[in-house]
Amino acid sequence: MQVRSESQSSTFEYRLTQEAINLRQQAQEMPVCVRRAELLQKARQIDVALEVNRWLSSPGLQPPM
């Protein structure tokens, strides 16, 4: 069984935000390399996922700008 560091009460948005922060911190500590680029790309993908989630959760469902 896997032990979770985050409680189930934390929101999806919060967990994604924390993961993006963690990935960026890891990337900052690395020299320029493929792995660093992958970490930063994953953080950007999380940012996009957060925007999509906010858009889908918004009242009135306004199209993205």
> Using N-to-C axis directions, what is the helix angle for 12-28 and 34-57, rounded to 10°?
160
The whole-chain average pLDDT of the chain stands at 86
- Read off the pLDDT of residues 22-51 as tens digits, 9 standing for 90 and up: 999 999 999 999 999 999 999 999 999 999
Q: Quick check: 20 pLDDT over 90?
A: yes
Return the pLDDT at 62: 64
CA distances to 10, 26, 44, 60, 63 from 41, in Å: 24, 12, 5, 30, 24
| Percent of the chain clearing pLDDT 70 (strictly above) | 78
Q: How many Å apart are CA 32 and CA 29, to the nearest integer? A: 10
Cα–Cα distance, 44 to 22 (Å, whole number): 12
C-alpha dist (Å) from residue 13 to 1, 23, 48: 24, 15, 12
Average pLDDT on 10-28 reads 95
